[in-house]
Amino acid sequence: MVKNAAVDREAVRRFLDSVPVDRATLQFCERFDETSRIWNFDAHSHPYFELIFFIEGKANIDAGAETVNVLGFDVVIYPPGLLHAEHLELDRRHEIICFWVDTGPTPPFDHAIKLMDERGTLRELFEMTYAEFTTNRPHAADLISVYLQAIFLQARQHFAEPSREANSLVERCLGYIHENYAQRFDIDALAATVSVSPSYLFRLFKRKMRLTPMHYRNVVRIDKAKLLLADRSLTVDAVAERVGFDDPKYFARVFKDLAGMSPSAYRRANVAD
């Protein structure tokens, strides 16, 4: 989050609590990518809240006297009147959903607000709002109002709860992988152990470890396999099964990719007769 606001979550919470979300009405709604002429890269402000969900991309945002760094799955909220300018990393693809939301009289707040879509619910709310706005179905205005209120309430909830440090989430996942590396589980199950969305965990884990969670599990499995190969009473297929590979051929392929040689060749080179 931004430099000072990240320290004072309580100030953000108090501000969000003061926003009359029951009056929220949508003034602008659009979904666009980095090629769109809608982007305004000059410093500017709006008389309404601006809410942006970054579906994909990376940007540095000047907001007031601070800088906000955002990635995919981040939500940025600019309070009314806050001067801001987005600077995209142009070698990346970008896609956002952008709203202007009028909540009526709102106290001033001189910080941008950033939160991560940990559970995947914010993206759903942005997507549903956009869908209702663009299809103009019966009761669309009422549904949009409910969705906007839910977005603000989700933001309130985020800042009302204790901060969950990203590093601690990854560390908990690392512990789970090391304890259960031989078991069958996918990214959805791993994300469920730390109560975040799979997409958010994937991004967080890869950013810290430089590997995807499932690739890291394979690294752990192959490290364990190297130890088991020292036991010549175990066949290579038995080693594969013990570390969680049902298919010996797939095990051999992964082993060679990570160790630079086949399991049998590794045993010959590293295990005494």
For residues 197 and 241, membership in a common domain is answered with: yes
Q: What global pTM score does this model have?
A: 0.70
3-state secondary structure of 178: helix
- DSSP codes of every residue in 107-156: ----S-EEEE-SSSHHHHHHHHHHHHHHH--TTHHHHHHHHHHHHHHHHH
Q: What is the distance between the terminal CA atoms of the chain, rounded to a whole angstrom?
A: 57
The pair of three-digit structure tokens given for residue 181, joined into one six-digit string:
């590396």
252 and 201 fall within a common domain: yes
pLDDT at 100: 98
Number of domains in the chain: 2
The pLDDT > 90 percentage for the chain reads 65
CA 148 – CA 103 distance, rounded (Å): 10
Clarify whether residues 148 and 255 are in a common domain. no
Q: Are strands 49-56 and 58-63 parallel, antiparallel or unpaired?
A: unpaired
**Could you tell me if residue 1 is inside a domain?**
no
Q: Read off the CATH number of the domain in which 111 is found.
A: 2.60.120.280
In a domain, 3, yes or no: no
Q: Which amino acid is at 214?
A: M
Residue 101 has pLDDT above 60, yes or no: yes
Regarding whether 172 and 148 lie in a shared domain, the answer is no
The answer to whether residue 8 scores a pLDDT higher than 90 is: no
Instruction: Let me know whether 133 and 225 are in one domain.
Output: no
Residues 245 and 129 in one domain: no
Buried b (16+ CB within 10 A) or exposed e, 26-60: beebebeebeeeeeeeeeebbebbbbbbbbebbbe
Lowest mean pLDDT, pick from 58-72, 109-123, 157-171:
157-171
Let me know whether 129 and 210 are in one domain.
no
Domain that holds residue 22: 9-160
pLDDT over 90 (residue 248): yes
Q: Same structural domain for residues 147 and 19?
A: yes
| Residues 170, 209 contacting (CB under 8 angstroms) | yes
What CATH number did the domain enclosing 252 receive? 1.10.10.60
* pLDDT tens, residue by residue, 122-145: 999 999 999 999 988 999 999 999
Task: List pLDDT tens digits, range 249-267.
Answer: 999 999 999 999 999 999 9
Residue 124 falls inside a structural domain: yes
Residue 189 in this model has a pLDDT that exceeds 80: yes
Say whether both 97 and 15 belong to one domain.
yes
pLDDT, position 97: 96
Instruction: State residue 130's pLDDT score.
Output: 95
**pLDDT band at residue 3 under the 50/70/90 scheme:** very low
Residue 177 shares a structural domain with residue 75: no
